[in-house]
Amino acid sequence: MTATSWDILLIGGASGVGKSRAAAQLAGEPGESKGFVVEFDDVVSAVEAMTSAEHHPALHHFDGIPDTERLGVDRVLDLQIATARALEPAVLGVVRNRLTVDVPAVIEGDYLTPAAAAEAIREGRAAGRRVRAVFLHEGDPDRITANYASREPDSGDQRHRAEVSAAYSHWLAGQAARHGLPVVECRPWDGLAGRVERALGQDGPVMSDPGHTLGP
């Protein structure tokens, strides 16, 4: 059906680590489409738009916080992790829909948790489909700050955001290892897609996580 080793590929990672570029490369080179990219950030925006803090507080931790730089990095990280966990059912909803379509897809986003990815792999296996997952890692806030400056030159200094992103990247990497999912260092940027493909051929069995139940 496809020249890839997957039918659905989940690419998780913190903001500013190169997920979108890697997803585009893995979905297909120019003139050779292997699939298409689903940006989970779009799903997050839709979910937030149709819910409220009153009825779905777990999805609106950042409402009423116009400037997250006023909060410490650890506090923002805690809120980000809580939001990601609350969005796990949405991740699985997207995957379940893709399981009904005989076209490969790459799903990428900041809020893909290893727990959700591991469950998606199990559901894919039960459906006879190849669902795979990989997490990109960049733990250096200086590098992420530089990435933001290059990508968003008019946004000013984003050091605090980069520090949160680096901390979140470390958390994701630790959780991915706990679930037996591959973690790939983002640098060097050249060859990242190839390293991801190799990692997908080497990852071990998906492990269970008795300490975490998927989000509400």
Q: Is residue 154 in some structural domain?
A: yes
Mean pLDDT of 64-86: 94
Q: Is residue 211 in some structural domain?
A: no
pLDDT band at 214 (very low <50, low <70, confident <90, very high): low
pLDDT at 187: 86
**Which domain does 149 fall in, by range?**
8-200
Q: How many domains does the chain have?
A: 1
Q: Is residue 3 in some structural domain?
A: no
Q: How many residues does the chain have?
A: 216
Q: Is residue 72 in some structural domain?
A: yes
**Residue 3: pLDDT over 80:** no
Q: Is residue 215 in some structural domain?
A: no
Q: Is residue 209 in some structural domain?
A: no
Strands, DSSP E only, in 28-152? 28-29, 32-33, 36-39, 105-109, 131-137
**Residue 206: pLDDT over 80:** no
Rg (CA), the chain: 17
10 against 190, higher pLDDT: 10
Query: Percent of the chain, pLDDT > 90?
Result: 70
**Residue 122: pLDDT over 80:** yes
Q: What is the pLDDT of residues 170-181, one digit of tens each?
A: 999 999 999 999
CATH assignment of the domain containing 107: 3.40.50.300
pLDDT band at 5 (very low <50, low <70, confident <90, very high): confident
**Residue 215: pLDDT over 90:** no
The residue behind tokens 């410490």 is 72
159, with CB counted inside 10 A (0-12, 13-18, 19+), is: middle
Q: What is the pLDDT of residues 123-140, one digit of tens each?
A: 999 999 999 999 999 999
Q: Is residue 106 in some structural domain?
A: yes
Eight-class DSSP state of 57: G
- Close Cβ partners of 49 (under 8 Å, ≥ 6 residues apart): none
Q: Is residue 68 in some structural domain?
A: yes
Strands, DSSP E only, in the chain? 8-12, 28-29, 32-33, 36-39, 105-109, 131-137, 183-185
